[in-house]
Amino acid sequence: MTSLPSAPLGLTYSASHDTVRVELSGDLDHLHADLLVEAVDRLLTEHPGLRDLRLDCAGLSAVDSSGLAALLMVRRRTGAAGAGLHLDARTVQLDRLLELTGTLEYLTAPGAGAQALRGPGCGVPRGGPADENRTTPPSGVAEPRA
């Protein structure tokens, strides 16, 4: 089997007051995934008040498992910095990859940063205040019979 050569990953930046937009082109694959993570690290350092990082994915020709791992790392880093991540102009292939891997919702969740990723009750240990005030059992748990 012959494989096609990987197209270098192109990154083009534009920034406003609290938003950075990065146009991606080429392949986000095992040869180039680290470039995206390094670029995002640099952008988060250069723009400490960043609220939104917008990745324009229209120019991506391929994304492999390393590219997916890079997107997940970018999500973690933007969340830790309190910035929202937006995957704009996703290709059909990218959407399919995200759906198949169960990462679509995680990578495209609305809201700013890590707070948007937390569901109700996250971060509250079992037996804590959330459990003390519970009037109905959690779903899937039968109530004891008298």
Kindly state the helix (H) or strand (E) to which residue 52 belongs, with its residue range: strand 52-63
Q: What is the pLDDT along the chain (146 residues), one digit of tens a residue?
A: 556 678 899 999 999 989 999 999 999 999 999 999 999 999 999 999 999 999 999 999 999 999 999 999 999 999 999 999 999 999 999 999 999 999 999 998 875 454 444 444 433 333 333 333 333 344 444 444 44
Q: How far apart are the first and last CA of the chain?
A: 67
Q: Are strands 84-88 and 10-15 parallel, antiparallel or unpaired?
A: unpaired
Q: Is the pTM of this model over 0.85?
A: no
